[in-house]
Amino acid sequence: MRLYLITGDRGDEVETSRIVEAALEGGATIIQLRKKSMPMREQYRLALALRILTREHEALLIINDHADLAIAADADGVHLGQDDLPPAAVRALPGFEGRLIGRSTHSLAQAQLAVHEGADYVAVGPVYPTPTKEGRPAVGTALVSRVAGVIDRPFLAVGGIELDNVASVVDAGAAAVAVVRAVYDATDPAEATRRLHEALVTRLEVARR
């Protein structure tokens, strides 16, 4: 887990696949299919297309919210919000065996509970204000540091992260970040991913010294 791309809501199967393929070529290691307004039948077709792309690039495919779609498309896992089913209920679903569960968290207590409930990884945010989480206040890098100090599970920082602030997020303790607009809305998604990945890895190397 290093650079995690969440798809934006705009775009059909062709456009989304084009952006995802470019991001994979640029260094993204995990793709999350998140289309809040796309009909489920279209999401299924898109998920199958992204499954092919992620396998070609040896990357993971995660489905937002819909465990049934993750199973149907043979994705690597599902990402759950705070209002979704608890991880134990999802893990018990027929066909979900061997898949990953991620959980969005917005406080230290939620992150700790996600670990207790068996999430394989935790997303912490939104670190900075972002229109993809309209109405939800930013938690800041302080929460990233607190989570980094106490949980024993992989976690990523998410929310408003871009090239100009990724170093601050790494310095706070995050070894992985998730982005939407910084790549999905970029004029050149492959180049945007490359630059973000390079900045992330470079800062991690500095942090380890």
**Which residue is listed with tokens 């919000």?**
81
Catalytic residue selected from 99, 104, 194, 195 = 104
**Element counts in the chain: helices (H) and strands (E):** 9, 8
94 by Cβ neighbours in 10 Å (0-12 / 13-18 / 19+) ranks as exposed
**H/E element holding 206?**
helix 189-208
Q: Does residue 34 carry a catalytic annotation?
A: yes
Closest of 156, 127, 161 to residue 142, by C-alpha: 127
Closest of 206, 199, 192, 205 to residue 19, by C-alpha: 192
Q: Does residue 10 carry a catalytic annotation?
A: no
13 by Cβ neighbours in 10 Å (0-12 / 13-18 / 19+) ranks as middle
Alpha-carbon distance 143 to 105, whole Å? 10
Q: Peptide bond preceding 126: is omega within 30 degrees of 0, i.e. cis?
A: yes
Alpha-carbon distance 111 to 122, whole Å? 7
141 by Cβ neighbours in 10 Å (0-12 / 13-18 / 19+) ranks as buried
Q: Does residue 103 carry a catalytic annotation?
A: no
Catalytic residue selected from 2, 17, 107, 133 = 133
Catalytic residues: 34, 104, 133
